[in-house]
Amino acid sequence: MLTLLLLGFQSHAQNGDEMQLKRIYDAALTDGKAYDWLNHLSNQIGGRLSGSLEAQRAVEYTKVQLESLQLDRVWLQPVMVPKWVRGTPEFAYMETSPGITSTVPIRALGGSVATPLGGLKANVIEVKGIEDLRALGENKIGGKIVFFNRPMDPTKISTFEAYSGAVDQRYSGAEEAAKFGAIGVIVRSLNLRLDDFPHTGSMSYGDTAEGDRIPAAAISTNAAEMLSTTLKLNPETKFYFKQHCKQFDDVQSYNVIGEIKGSTHPDEIIVVGGHLDSWDLGDGAHDDGAGCVQSMEVLRLLKLSGYIPKRTIRAVLFMNEENGLRGATEYAVKAKANNENHIFALESDAGGFAPRGFSFESSDTHLKRVHGWKPLFKPYQIHLFEKGHSGADIAPLKNGDNVLAGLRPDSQRYFVHHHAANDTFEHVNKRELELGAAAMASLVYLFDKYGVEPAATLGN
Amino acid sequence: MLTLLLLGFQSHAQNGDEMQLKRIYDAALTDGKAYDWLNHLSNQIGGRLSGSLEAQRAVEYTKVQLESLQLDRVWLQPVMVPKWVRGTPEFAYMETSPGITSTVPIRALGGSVATPLGGLKANVIEVKGIEDLRALGENKIGGKIVFFNRPMDPTKISTFEAYSGAVDQRYSGAEEAAKFGAIGVIVRSLNLRLDDFPHTGSMSYGDTAEGDRIPAAAISTNAAEMLSTTLKLNPETKFYFKQHCKQFDDVQSYNVIGEIKGSTHPDEIIVVGGHLDSWDLGDGAHDDGAGCVQSMEVLRLLKLSGYIPKRTIRAVLFMNEENGLRGATEYAVKAKANNENHIFALESDAGGFAPRGFSFESSDTHLKRVHGWKPLFKPYQIHLFEKGHSGADIAPLKNGDNVLAGLRPDSQRYFVHHHAANDTFEHVNKRELELGAAAMASLVYLFDKYGVEPAATLGN
């Protein structure tokens, strides 16, 4: 009899959850605001590189929009951010023999130094990765431009895995090549498609002294194929590039935060977020305008669906994920200083594509609990509930007790647009964006309703 | 001990299947041909309406391409097809008062009659569906243009479900409205997105006498919204449209078929197919160029991966799915006449988007067996194995013993392009197309290897 009662209770709860998810999804798909917000961020504001006017306008715009949702509190959290400016024009060509040149689509990597004013011209040595440098040595590399040309692995089904397998060339290529006397670095764009878009992204000089830093840039995948073929035909082919990028002093910026205060457990905080900054080449619609508007939409959908959160739910639009993580760091520092208890955090930073599921950083016990919710998501074609990376901005919030998660949209098209001039609004599908927001709101609802037990009580 | 041996055997088989699927996927993603074929079909040939020159060129092109695969047999199966021609120009406007007009994007529905040469102008009556007609009656409808304006339901997660819930307006709207004296029909495009593309598609006059047939056309979703608002402000708004479409006599066409003969069970036939014809507005890349090149690719991938099929595997490119199903009918008639045993058929006709899984028409016993293969597909993010519609072209092959299946790609973007001028090659992502082909080849491989037991032996 007790069992029956419990079953009855469970099925009642399950039923209530089903209905709540349906309300969330219906609201997202019939009365969504995420797409309009993204339109504004993308088309009226544009690329939002940290320290830019656009980034500041995005701070102001999203603050006003969050205020319009009648939350309990909306505020800006100050943070100093790096300001790197691309400068124009950027220009490159390959020269097979004196005067015979082909223009190459090129864009400086974020954080790179400029070339000399007149540009840089040298012979090219092609490598498949950083690991090739030592074998070649200073003898073969000195005075040359190193061309990193290891493609992303097309056999990886998750394109993020393919990205992880190739991104070291972009991030550390210049630092490593300089050790062997290289005078510049060009990197094959991290794009699985052959096309003409160079894809920028962050790079680091590590502890290379300022005077020893060499300029680094990305060339398009088509150009990389062309250059590689050309070098086989004529190893004496020269490469020329010119860029005027510059690092300025840090400037003031902000995380944008909106919050619904918890009705019964206000001290337990749930964060849902994306990053407000983007690279400067496109308008940052997928990376990560989508994650920002979806996070804002989560608060809105919970309100629209008539749900009163028990816990405090915050949308956090982090500043400077792309080239510094200053916003994420500052948010975590302040959270710690204020002794805030973040029980769950969810980030969307993998594009506004049709959602497939979530990846979780958590104990196995917590993950098992989350797996129990999987059937609730089946009608919405959400099927991935896996251990894995959550998100760069929420990672600093990790502790032994809480759960971090990342939205996992379909990844096939992401790197077509990532950090390139074609990361633009028209490549975001309204329904796909909305389904992502609804999936996020559903997961936030479940974590809010059922909470997260500290590891100690779970004996984990 | 026997159990252990069996388990050992099973795990060995499982392992072999895992490796075979990996070979298929690797080949599709590194050495695929589907995208190049689709480029040719879309950009060098274009929209392939039954009876058109383009359709004939597509027959010839795909035959040559199949022949290049060194199959055991490639042939054309003759079939007579209807020939409906759109004619130009098509033109429409709404007129709120004499001389005050707005142009409306419009395209005739496939199979519609023309308007009078000078066009048709009349008052408009808006309805939400065929079921509204009777209540309004001849009194309200007679002499008017009926405007069917029930949108697809955005809360359906499968957009095909939303389509099913609205398509009767397009298919039967003219037949039904004519019964109440309507002189023309315009239909809101079957598109979940608000945009300016009219979406054509098949319609039927049922047994309406030729003289009583009224012209029918689709207007874009934006135009439908605008017209609806305008009618609220001014119910006397008139609508004008002009179209010159015409039905000609049937013409000769063909199904294109390529086959690998089974090595041990040549009399058991597995079909994988799509339809070669398309509507005329775009280039038919998603509907259904994608399904055709994926079906051809299945044969190629099986060969590339070194697999020798036990059973006979046929790629069938069906002609005239869109407005007649003549190719499908003819194929089934001939299969029956030749006493062919089709044990499994798989169709791809839902766009070249990232695959989510398959829907099956089969007995529960067969479905249960297929469910056993699900873990093999998990690494490829294939998660839907559900009962449901397979495909219009293979449906006539259904019998009590066999299994029919349809590829289920992500459906969110499909109706943005379906039957409209923006169903074009650049909206197909290469990897998404390839992943679909690989999923199809994997399922065909499993059915070939393990066969399909007749229902009688299963006691089902």
Residue B131 counted as domain residue: yes
Local structure of A370: helix, strand or coil:
helix
Residue A8 counted as domain residue: no
CA separation, residue B75 to residues A12, B65, B259, B336 (Å) = 60, 12, 9, 18
Residue where a domain terminates, one of A225, A244, A263:
A244
Instruction: Give yes or no for residue B13 having a pLDDT over 70.
Output: no
Residue B278 in contact with residue B419, Cβ under 8 Å? no
| Nearest alpha-carbon partner for A130 in A194, A180, A189 | A180
| Nearest alpha-carbon partner for B344 in B327, B362, B329, B330 | B362
Residue where a domain terminates, one of B198, B227, B244:
B244
Same-domain pairing of B260 and B240: no
Report the Cα A336 to chain-centroid distance in Å.
24
The alpha carbon of residue A310 is apart from the nearest alpha carbon of chain B, in Å, by 27
Looking at residue A440, its pLDDT comes to 98
Residue A2 counted as domain residue: no
The two three-digit tokens of residue A202, written as one number: 């962050």
Domain span including residue B330: 17-84+249-458
Instruction: Assign 3-state DSSP to chain B and report helix, strand, coil percentages, each to 5.
Output: 40, 25, 35
Residue A417 counted as domain residue: yes
- Beta bridge partner(s), residue A92: A241
| Nearest alpha-carbon partner for A146 in A110, A173, A121 | A173
Q: Is the dihedral of CA B233, B234, B235, B237 positive or negative?
A: negative
Residue B212 carries which side chain, given as an amino acid letter?
D
Residue B9 counted as domain residue: no
- Beta bridge partner(s), residue A359: A386, A406
Same-domain pairing of A98 and A120: yes
CATH number, position A283: 3.40.630.10
Residue where a domain terminates, one of B217, B244, B271:
B244
Query: Which one-letter DSSP state was computed for residue B202?
Result: B
Looking at residue B456, its pLDDT comes to 63
Phi and psi, residue A270, nearest 5°: -115, 130
Catalytic pick among B90, B126, B321, B432: B321
Phi and psi, residue A417, nearest 5°: -110, -20
Same-domain pairing of B237 and B253: no
Query: Which one-letter DSSP state was computed for residue A110?
Result: B
pLDDT tens sequence across A368-382: 999 999 999 999 999
Same-domain pairing of A166 and A91: yes
β B238-242/B341-347 pair status: unpaired
Residue B292 in contact with residue B275, Cβ under 8 Å? yes
- Which residue reads 């359709």 in tokens? B55
B-contacting residues of A 210-229, CB under 8 Å? none
Q: Give chain B's domain count.
A: 2
Same-domain pairing of A201 and A130: yes
Looking at residue B326, its pLDDT comes to 98
pLDDT by residue for chain A (460 residues), tens only, comes to: 444 444 445 556 668 999 999 999 999 999 999 999 999 999 999 999 999 999 999 999 999 999 999 999 999 999 999 999 999 899 999 999 998 999 999 999 999 999 999 999 999 999 999 999 999 999 999 999 999 999 999 999 999 999 999 999 999 999 999 999 999 999 999 999 999 999 999 999 999 999 999 999 999 999 999 999 999 999 999 999 999 999 999 999 999 999 999 999 999 999 999 999 999 999 999 999 999 999 999 999 999 999 999 999 999 999 999 999 999 999 999 999 999 999 999 999 999 999 999 999 999 999 999 999 999 999 999 999 999 999 999 999 999 899 999 999 999 999 999 999 999 999 999 999 999 999 999 999 999 999 998 766 654 4
% chain B with pLDDT above 90: 94
Mutation for testing the A interface, residue in B23, B24, B26, B155 having most A CBs under 10 Å: B155
Torsion of CA B220, B226, B229, B230, to 10 degrees: -120
Mutation for testing the B interface, residue in A21, A39, A157, A159 having most B CBs under 10 Å: A157
Using the Cβ of B412 and the Cβ atoms of chain A, whether some distance falls under 8 Å is answered with: yes
Among A155, A412, A416, the residue with its CB nearest the CB of B354 is: A412
Separation between Cα atoms, residue A48 and residue B193, nearest integer Å: 28
Residue A189 carries which side chain, given as an amino acid letter?
S
As to burial, measured by CB atoms within 10 angstroms (0-12 exposed, 13-18 middle, 19+ buried), residue B300 is: buried
Q: What is the mean pLDDT of residues B167-185?
A: 98
Looking at residue A5, its pLDDT comes to 47
Same-domain pairing of A272 and A409: yes
Phi and psi, residue B304, nearest 5°: -55, -35
Q: Which residues contact B286 (CB under 8 A, 6 or more apart)?
A: B351, B352, B353, B414, B417, B418, B423, B427, B428
The two three-digit tokens of residue B111, written as one number: 């199979």
Looking at residue B460, its pLDDT comes to 41
Looking at residue A454, its pLDDT comes to 79
Residue A6 counted as domain residue: no
Among A25, A29, A154, the residue with its CB nearest the CB of B30 is: A154
Residue B77 in contact with residue B91, Cβ under 8 Å? no
CATH number, position B154: 3.50.30.30
Same-domain pairing of A271 and A402: yes
Residue A3 counted as domain residue: no
Q: Hey, are the CB atoms on A429 and B435 less than 8 Å from each other?
A: no
Same-domain pairing of A116 and A203: yes
The two three-digit tokens of residue B25, written as one number: 């996927």
Same-domain pairing of A414 and A308: yes
Separation between Cα atoms, residue A135 and residue A138, nearest integer Å: 9
Residue B29's region, left for phi above 0, alpha for psi from -120 to 50, else beta, is: alpha
- Which residue reads 């308008």 in tokens? A283
As to burial, measured by CB atoms within 10 angstroms (0-12 exposed, 13-18 middle, 19+ buried), residue B411 is: buried
Q: Is the dihedral of CA B313, B317, B320, B322 positive or negative?
A: positive
Q: Hey, are the CB atoms on B413 and A435 less than 8 Å from each other?
A: no
* ipTM here: 0.95
Residue B218 carries which side chain, given as an amino acid letter?
A
Question: In the 3-class helix/strand/coil scheme, how is B99-119 assigned residue by residue?
Answer: CEEEECCEEECECCCCCCCCC
pLDDT tens sequence across A27-67: 999 999 999 999 999 999 999 999 999 999 999 999 999 99
pLDDT tens sequence across A139-187: 999 999 999 999 999 999 999 999 999 999 999 999 999 999 999 999 9
CA angle, A274 as apex, B427 and A301 as ends, to 5°?
A: 85
Q: What residues of A are in contact with residue B26 (Cβ under 8 Å)?
A: 155
Among A26, A356, A410, the residue with its CB nearest the CB of B155 is: A26
Per DSSP, the residues of A419-452 read TSTT--GGGS-HHHHHHHHHHHHHHHHHHHHH--
Residue B152 carries which side chain, given as an amino acid letter?
M
Residue A207 counted as domain residue: yes
Same-domain pairing of B424 and B365: yes
Q: Is the dihedral of CA B65, B68, B72, B78 positive or negative?
A: positive
Using the Cβ of B157 and the Cβ atoms of chain A, whether some distance falls under 8 Å is answered with: yes
**Residue with more model confidence, A459 or B432:** B432
Looking at residue A7, its pLDDT comes to 47
pLDDT tens sequence across B102-158: 999 999 999 999 999 999 999 999 999 999 999 999 999 999 999 999 999 999 999
Whether B321 sits among the annotated catalytic residues: the reply is yes
Same-domain pairing of A297 and A409: yes
The two three-digit tokens of residue A321, written as one number: 């994920």
Q: What is the mean pLDDT of residues B11-23?
A: 86
Separation between Cα atoms, residue A252 and residue A327, nearest integer Å: 11
- Chain pair A-B, CB pairs under 8 angstroms: 63
Same-domain pairing of B131 and B263: no
The two three-digit tokens of residue A104, written as one number: 């190459």
